[in-house]
Structure 1
Amino acid sequence: CVTAQSNGLGYLWVDTCCIDQEDQTDVHRNVKNMYSYYRNSRICYAYLVDTDMQEVAESRFGQSRWFTRGWTLQELLAPPEVIFFDSKWVHIGTRTTLCAEISSVTGIPEDIVRGSTSFLDVDVQERMSWSVLRKTTRSVDRAYCLFGILGVSIEPDYTEDLVTAITRLQEAFFERYPEK
């Protein structure tokens, strides 16, 4: 909160605190809107809980689990600015200053990481490739975490399996972008 205040921010949204996982209506609403939260934010703070910059060389920054989680792909690409902190809230750098390393770790081109080219201008297969090795707690979230990356949304259904969710997501994509 102190960091947010020092950046002149009046509000802070933390998904693990602000989404009531026991309330399916709240979960569904937030899953559908997650991308827009990040896109409309001023800053996204990426807290790398498994990274201690005092113990680990900067070159190991990219080994954080943060880069393997499904939901963090939109945290990386949607906001206008991303600031990385280690487990002790020590400033590591920004998406811009760490661009080359982030690109190397994620396979996402530097111009996309920097934000100088919109990821929505990139071929859909390439965008999807950025998520292949990422993991989610619930398998079906591997589809849902791509809503913003693909520019589409479907109603989340946590009773369906991953194949069904991906099929519905593809159908929504081709309905919205028939020329793709």
Structure 2
Amino acid sequence: MIQLKETIEVIQEEMSEVQDVLSVTSIDRHQQKEITNARNRRVVSMLGGMKNFKYILFANKYYGQCLKDMKNKFNIATYKDLAKTELQEALNYISNWKPNVHTEKSIIADWLVKRDNGDIKKGNLRALNEYLILNSGFGQNNQVFNCYTYLLYWCECQAPMKYPGPSHLGFCRNLMKMIMSKKSQLSINACMI
């Protein structure tokens, strides 16, 4: 009987040691994939799907920022160092993750610099223009909004093909400023080019 009690105590000590080891053991590759999939789902759903203009502009930075924020929260160097015991908490964190306001502003600022330097692809330029229009205070049913949208598209996408060279950009920017200053007096007829 004494020997049985000693055996039980030894087994309990060993189980305690195993639990200690498990609590500091990092997640395995299947759990790493689970973290990656959760992050991907969160970013895609936040940005309205992969075909949305927001996805085009923000996805790459948001993927990285989500993992960076998670690593900071759990005080780890890489998400692969996450303890197995913290996996569920990390998944919950990711499913509720939101980028801070400065992240979005920084991303848009980077896109604007690329646009101004001419280092932007046509699809990205359209996405940026759509973002800027929708965040400029115009309503979508507003005639000025429709006019502004058309002019942005024409100036950034059509004019460079029809009138190559830098001269069309100055004309288009001045036209945009005029429209913005007289938006209350503008009718959709004035926008037809």
Q: Report the TM-score range of the alignment, normalised by the length of the smaller protein.
A: under 0.3
Please identify which structure carries the higher helix content.
2
Query: Greater CA radius of gyration, 1 or 2?
Result: 2
Please identify which structure carries the higher strand content.
1
